[in-house]
Structure 1
């Protein structure tokens, strides 16, 4: 007889092959999903303020995208959440100042990443930085993400697994 975890709809993993989804369902059924993630991503980063996040983002930008536009504002945003399907956000606000058009770039990271593994924060930041050069999620965008973070795709998958774990009912 099938258990609920055999048919569990994994909303964050819908675009992945069925065999990967089944591996995650298996870990859920065996109550080992948290163990899997803890083994791969055991730590928690120390970046807790917007000022520290701004410094972190600018350091990554300088290491990887020196010619990209300056970032004017970076912050953790508690209004970004999974219901809006946004873990990070980049915006460009254009204003006319003294006859010149000025564009201000902002990066916002969902507050839930204050408590996440450093690898997940880095993946979200790399994703948002890549949008400074590539606005669409196309081949060039993902190539840039992989340039900045060679294991980008694995981290993105594991981040989706982490989000899945966060939404599981407490089985204890």
Structure 2
């Protein structure tokens, strides 16, 4: 399976195209869009940023590879899906902010694709509310210790599993029901 581009690669092309989003927020938007049932299309930045004037990423660029790898991982039954956040050696505060940015982007992309009343399970409704709380969170005092590191890892894993659950509710579940009919 093709690897995700790095956050630095995505940030560089994002700046080049004039996108007003961090790499984490942009990836979150893409993930939310796909999880909500949005089409896997080359012009995804225009769709997830709700700006039709945005250019389509060049084939093979970091943004194009990000779309391809993310879509494949969401569809993969092996749970290979992962979030594009800051490197593990970045300061904890910066990594926490990237997670909050990712959640913010996810909610926007998900809302655009899924609409006002997506077909969510009870668990899906609950994780969507939890993601909204994370998206609105502020980075407070962080001690760069093992306890804070562990807490951030748990939140990252929660967001990863939440995206998979919502994708299951809005994409995989309806697809499966169509095949049965």
Same fold (TM over 0.5): no
Radius of gyration: which is bigger?
A: 1
- TM-score, length-normalised on structure 2? 0.28
Q: Which has the higher contact order (CA 8 A, sep 6+)?
A: 2
